[in-house]
Amino acid sequence: MVKNRFTSLSLFGLICAARLCFAASEPVNPVLRPPKGSQVALVVFEDLQCPQCRRVAPVLEQASKTYKIPLVRHDFPLPMHNWSYDAAVMARYFDSTSKELGNEFRDYIFSNQLEINPQNLRSYAEKFASQHKVGFPFVVDPQGKFAAEVNADRDTGRAIKLEHTPTVFVVSTRNPNKPYVEMKDSSQLYALIDAMMKE
């Protein structure tokens, strides 16, 4: 009886140890991995009302084209900005037609950022929709689906402890010990990509 109890306790101890080892080797958050089929990618969390996001967006776009690597954009509207959340929801509406159109809308908002305010945001979105021959409904998100997508991106950003926008990562599958690096200075972006590609 005592022997059986000792065996049970030993087995329990082994299971606990195995679980601890598994927890210690938790996988990297999937958001910090390249899309399927790519070894290296750029991942950005951006706020459409953020001036620095506006400045960095074309740099990321150019790097994506230069290196032929994906640029994955996530919405991270900050609470202090009074129209960025609504703009992100509208971008998700355009995403529903095509991701390319949604990203084009984001760039359009950046290019007009200095003139946009909560009162005229919708008219900018209507103009964009008209130029691209896409309908723009009176109620953009009746079921709250697009808002839920924005919230999910924001929650993901909080889960990886984002503190500012834009937050840009160069992510890679090449080195399991260093799956991503954060870009602190846009002038260093190409050097970071080069280093990740050589891993």
Find out whether 170 and 42 touch, Cβ atoms under 8 Å: yes
Domain count, the chain: 1
Q: What was the pLDDT predicted at 147?
A: 98
Q: Return the pLDDT at 176.
A: 85
Q: Within a domain: residue 18?
A: no
* Residue 116: inside a domain: yes
What pLDDT is recorded for position 177? 87
| Residue 1 is assigned to a structural domain of this protein | no
Q: Quote the tokens at residue 2.
A: 């005592």
- 183 falls within a domain: yes
Residue 108, C-beta contacts closer than 8 angstroms, at least 6 positions apart: 124, 128
Q: Print pLDDT tens along the chain (199 aa).
A: 544 444 444 444 444 444 433 333 456 788 999 999 999 999 999 999 999 999 999 999 999 999 999 999 999 999 999 999 999 999 999 999 999 999 999 999 999 999 999 999 999 999 999 999 999 999 999 999 999 999 999 999 999 999 899 999 999 999 888 899 999 999 999 999 999 998 7
Euclidean distance between CA atoms 74 and 69, whole angstroms: 16
- What's residue 189's pLDDT? 97
CA dist 134 and 26 (Å) reads 43
Residue 83: which domain range?
30-198
Q: Which pLDDT belongs to residue 26? A: 53
**In a domain? residue 38:** yes
155 assigned to some structural domain? yes
CATH of the domain at 161: 3.40.30.10
Q: Within a domain: residue 171?
A: yes
CA 15 to chain CA centroid, nearest Å: 36
First to last CA, the chain: 56
What's residue 163's pLDDT? 85
Q: What per-residue confidence (pLDDT) applies to 10? A: 46
pTM summary value: 0.83
Do the domain assignments include residue 2?
no
Can you name the residues that pair with 46 across neighbouring β-strands?
75
- Largest Cα separation within the chain, whole Å, is 81
